Chains A and B, each alone.
Chain A
Amino acid sequence: MLEPLEATRVIARPAALDAVRVSPGTLLMRLALDDALVIGGDVQVDDPFAIVVPDSGWVAWRFGEDQLREALVRLCAFEIHAGLNQGMVAGLPAKIWIDGDRSLVIVAAAYAAEFEERFR
């Protein structure tokens, strides 16, 4: 169910992240004012002190809308909306990205096994 996710983590000034540039097709999730997770593309940020590092500490589950409703809603402690959702899913910290037909659940790889066990 869960697959390794190769991503880039960008920590920068909030203003620099507001103006971040990514290549076409890149998915950028703004996790916090100073924190972004970038999947599948290049990223340029105008902050000489930015921390931009590869981040393989995540796994992702790609799913369709029906699966979302069936499997996720009952396990989420928060209301899911389009875009980035962050909160506890089945008692584990998770991120849910909803964008039309491109939706995924992201959890730290250290929680991957536990996440799958709780989803069974």
Chain B
Amino acid sequence: MAVALLRQGIHPRGGGCICLGGDCPNCVVEVDGVAYVRSCQVAARPALEVARQTDTPRLPDESRPLETELRTAFADVVVVGQGESGLAAARDADGTVISFDAHRGEEAIGLYAGPTVVAKTPAGMVSVQCSRVVVATGAAEEQPICPGSELDGIFTKRAAESLRAAGIDLGDAVTIDEQPQRFEGSGRVEAVVTAAGDRIAASTVVVDLGLHPRSGLLRMGQGLEVEVVGDAALTDSLPPPPTEGVVCPCSDVTVSDLEAVWDRGFREMELLKRATLAGTGTCQGGVCLPHLRSYLAAKGVSTPAPFTARPLTRQATIGEVAAGYDLPPFRRTALHDEHLRLGATMDRFGAWWRPWRYPDPEAEYWSVRERVSLGDVSTLGKMEISGPDVVALLEKLYPCRVADLKDGQVRYALLLDERGYVLDDGLICRLSEHRFYLTFTSGGASFAEMWVRDWAETFDLDVRILDRTMSLGAINVTGPLARELLRRGGVDSPPAYLAHVDAAVFGVECRIVRLSFTGEVSFELHHPFSDSVELWRRLEEAGADLGSYPHGLDALFTLRLEKGHFIVGMDSEYDSTPRRLGLEWAARLSKPDFVGKQALLRTNRLPLNKRLLGWEMDGPAPIEGAILWQVATPVGQVTSARYSPVLAKTVMLGWLRSDPAEPEGISCDGRPVRHASHPFYDPDGARARA
């Protein structure tokens, strides 16, 4: 395309030395609405829309598809460049070879660990995983750096040869082989003043100033299996130091700019680059790098190395950069479509889509408090673990006692890290002497397996571990009538509080786990993923005359807050110990050992500098995160706040960070706040245990 434009007497950029090698920014244009396209690297064809590049290129409009395909390929060897040395390297390589040839519009733009080579091609983006990369990218011609280098009519030697070969008359072209003092002219070059001071009139000047290896990919591949061949392996000799003119035509950085930042103390290559932006533009140092090194060398910096090369070596569109990238997936429980059928508003929580609210939020809440309700808790982490050393492992993992659990019993447990901070919480269910079923929070599920496996290996304990989070569904049946609903499902002997049984509910084999997060009688029915819809519908039908209505996360957050249950990651912070959370009872320091014990022993001797406390106030709930004030001093923040329908006041959890003797005189949102013990609702737990 550059040749076609020049044939018409049009300089693609308006001026500047043309190289036709893809090494400079002097032929960039907009092609079909895409800015920063080197016209020397694009084949001209009918109907291409070409416009001059402006300082503020237009953004793509809807007429141009943004998406670009990414193809992943595999090869033993990737050869970048198909000149003489590149062809030879491809021919002689062992195994499968993939080559990229800039003359076919295939440009390697990045080299990553692996090694992986990413290239732009006319067919889209290509990512090649390989064992070895051969860089055969050749060498770039040195550009003139002097006043007037921005004029039209200046060509490198190779460019001139290509243009002449294309039948373009360069007129009275003069060739120089040293950096000139300056070019003269207005718009187009009229004369060149050589290094020796001779003024030569010419409407075209050809510069033959030497070669510099195209080392971008090689430098990008440091530490990887990368070999360089041909001119790309040339020893790079420095040009004479620039004294005047534009050094970096991409960012319009002049020698005066270099002097200015040098005087301010930026005296290394990377600092020079950052301070001036030289080398950060279109050509990524293709023009300026040798001159910057020469500039520093002349200042006494010994052998200044080239600056770090990073992808991308070429401009890419957003579509090209995003090619093949997929957004992180969100899981759906087996009941996803049931929630939609019931009119739920779904939201993303953790890694899952979850029902936030159904059409009647009041019914969600009161069906739990007064009747019976279903909640989808399939997102809970679930794990089965067995083995001769399973008790030993769990005793080390959990700060509570495990060995004394009897078959069929359930225990609430915290999970601590080595620093004694709460990582997660959940349940320990004993299935048999050597087999347990563990639950974790929805957010902690993905981490739990790694955590348990890691410690099993660390302690060299013989256990089998299976994460069942995505293979089991779970439905929470909760409310004063939950037992009746289970009875209708065929369960005459549901488990006692903090116990579990395996039983069929409406014909679906379930592990029924009895605990309570809502504060009412609750049975979690853990069951095969494939049975979730059947079980949900049967429970829904059987509970209709009991006033059953499902509840989503929004209602659940209110219900659990009334009970003062904290949520890991929502109410706890990264450094929350059981003591800070008011859960000292959950850590048995009399146990011989558990993860985090030594840290707890140490930190328990320190003053308690923050506590998670219960609070209440009149009126509506403040936003979560609101500051707690003691007069004019911020002393903490609210982590959870809800207006409680059953208590007719706002209840909250929040950190008291400073150390007032008594949490008195506290305000939030401009209103007084009272410290209150929690649970706020049913403090003795009679309803949950009923």
In residues 433-470 of chain B, which contact A (Cβ within 8 Å)? 434-435, 462-466, 468, 470
Q: Is B14 an interface residue (CB 8 A)?
A: no
How far does the alpha carbon of A47 sit from the alpha carbon of B327 in the complex, in Å? 41
> Please, could you name 15 A-B residue pairs with CB atoms under 8 Å apart, sorted by A?
A11-B384, A13-B464, A34-B464, A47-B464, A49-B434, A50-B386, A56-B530, A57-B471, A74-B71, A91-B327, A92-B326, A109-B529, A110-B331, A110-B334, A110-B529
Q: Is A108 an interface residue (CB 8 A)?
A: yes
Most buried by B among A35, A51, A112: A51
Inter-chain contact A90/B528, CB cutoff 8 Å: no
Would you call the interface of chain A mostly helix, strand, loop, or mixed? mixed
CB-nearest residue of chain A relative to B530?
Answer: A56
Q: Is A55 an interface residue (CB 8 A)?
A: yes
Q: Is A42 an interface residue (CB 8 A)?
A: no
Q: Residues on A close to B: CB < 8 A?
A: 4, 6, 9, 11-13, 34-35, 47, 49-51, 53-58, 73-74, 76-79, 90-92, 108-114, 118
Inter-chain contact A11/B471, CB cutoff 8 Å: no
In residues 508-543 of chain B, which contact A (Cβ within 8 Å)? 528-531
Inter-chain contact B530/A49, CB cutoff 8 Å: no
How far does the alpha carbon of A51 sit from the alpha carbon of B384 in the complex, in Å? 8
Q: Is B488 an interface residue (CB 8 A)?
A: no
Inter-chain contact B386/A9, CB cutoff 8 Å: no
Inter-chain contact B465/A11, CB cutoff 8 Å: yes
Inter-chain contact B332/A54, CB cutoff 8 Å: no
Residues of A within 8 A of B325 (CB): 91
How far does the alpha carbon of A112 sit from the alpha carbon of B353 in the complex, in Å? 13
Check A57/B472 contact, CB under 8 A, given A76-B72, A92-B326, A113-B332.
yes
CB-nearest residue of chain A relative to B389?
Answer: A49
How far does the alpha carbon of A79 sit from the alpha carbon of B129 in the complex, in Å? 9
- Minimum C-beta distance from B450 to chain A (A): 13
The digit string for B10-54, where 1 denotes a CB below 8 A from any CB of A, is 000000000000000000000000000000000000000000000
Q: Is B171 an interface residue (CB 8 A)?
A: no
The digit string for B55-89, where 1 denotes a CB below 8 A from any CB of A, is 00000000000000111101000000000000000
How far does the alpha carbon of A110 sit from the alpha carbon of B329 in the complex, in Å? 10
Residues of B within 8 A of A77 (CB): 72
- Minimum C-beta distance from A114 to chain B (A): 5
Inter-chain contact A55/B471, CB cutoff 8 Å: yes
CB-nearest residue of chain A relative to B334?
Answer: A109
Residues of B within 8 A of A12 (CB): 464
How far does the alpha carbon of A35 sit from the alpha carbon of B449 in the complex, in Å? 13
How far does the alpha carbon of A73 sit from the alpha carbon of B71 in the complex, in Å? 8
Residue among B434, B468, B530 making CB contact with A4, cutoff 8 Å = B530
Ordered nearest first, which 8 A-B pairs have the shortest CB separation? Answer: A91-B326, A57-B471, A56-B530, A110-B331, A79-B74, A11-B464, A57-B529, A108-B470
Inter-chain contact A51/B386, CB cutoff 8 Å: yes
Residue among A13, A35, A76, A91 making CB contact with B329, cutoff 8 Å = A91
Residue among A76, A108, A118 making CB contact with B331, cutoff 8 Å = A108
CB-nearest residue of chain A relative to B385?
Answer: A51
Residues of A within 8 A of B72 (CB): 73-74, 76-78
How far does the alpha carbon of A74 sit from the alpha carbon of B127 in the complex, in Å? 10
Q: Is B412 an interface residue (CB 8 A)?
A: no
Q: Is B350 an interface residue (CB 8 A)?
A: no
Residue among B69, B384, B462 making CB contact with A53, cutoff 8 Å = B384
Residue among B332, B468, B530 making CB contact with A110, cutoff 8 Å = B332
Residues of B within 8 A of A55 (CB): 471
How far does the alpha carbon of A55 sit from the alpha carbon of B528 in the complex, in Å? 7
Residues of A within 8 A of B386 (CB): 49-51
CB-nearest residue of chain B relative to A47?
Answer: B464
How far does the alpha carbon of A29 sit from the alpha carbon of B463 in the complex, in Å? 21
- Minimum C-beta distance from A43 to chain B (A): 14
Inter-chain contact B336/A54, CB cutoff 8 Å: no
Q: Is B490 an interface residue (CB 8 A)?
A: no
Q: Is B343 an interface residue (CB 8 A)?
A: no
Check A54/B528 contact, CB under 8 A, given A91-B327, A114-B329.
yes
How far does the alpha carbon of A91 sit from the alpha carbon of B322 in the complex, in Å? 13
Residue among A50, A109, A114 making CB contact with B470, cutoff 8 Å = A109
- Minimum C-beta distance from A39 to chain B (A): 14
How far does the alpha carbon of A118 sit from the alpha carbon of B325 in the complex, in Å? 11
Q: Is B328 an interface residue (CB 8 A)?
A: yes
Check A49/B464 contact, CB under 8 A, given A56-B530, A76-B72.
yes
Residues of A within 8 A of B470 (CB): 57, 108-110
Residues of B within 8 A of A111 (CB): 329, 331-332
Residues of B within 8 A of A54 (CB): 528
How far does the alpha carbon of A91 sit from the alpha carbon of B464 in the complex, in Å? 29
How far does the alpha carbon of A111 sit from the alpha carbon of B71 in the complex, in Å? 23
How far does the alpha carbon of A90 sit from the alpha carbon of B324 in the complex, in Å? 8
Residue among A34, A76, A113 making CB contact with B336, cutoff 8 Å = A113
CB-nearest residue of chain B relative to A114?
Answer: B329
Check A9/B466 contact, CB under 8 A, given A108-B331, A110-B332.
yes
- Minimum C-beta distance from B292 to chain A (A): 38
How far does the alpha carbon of A50 sit from the alpha carbon of B336 in the complex, in Å? 32
- Minimum C-beta distance from A10 to chain B (A): 9
CB-nearest residue of chain A relative to B70?
Answer: A74
CB-nearest residue of chain A relative to B328?
Answer: A91
Residues of B within 8 A of A112 (CB): 332
CB-nearest residue of chain A relative to B531?
Answer: A56
Residues of A within 8 A of B531 (CB): 56
- Minimum C-beta distance from B298 to chain A (A): 48
Most buried by B among A12, A49, A118: A49
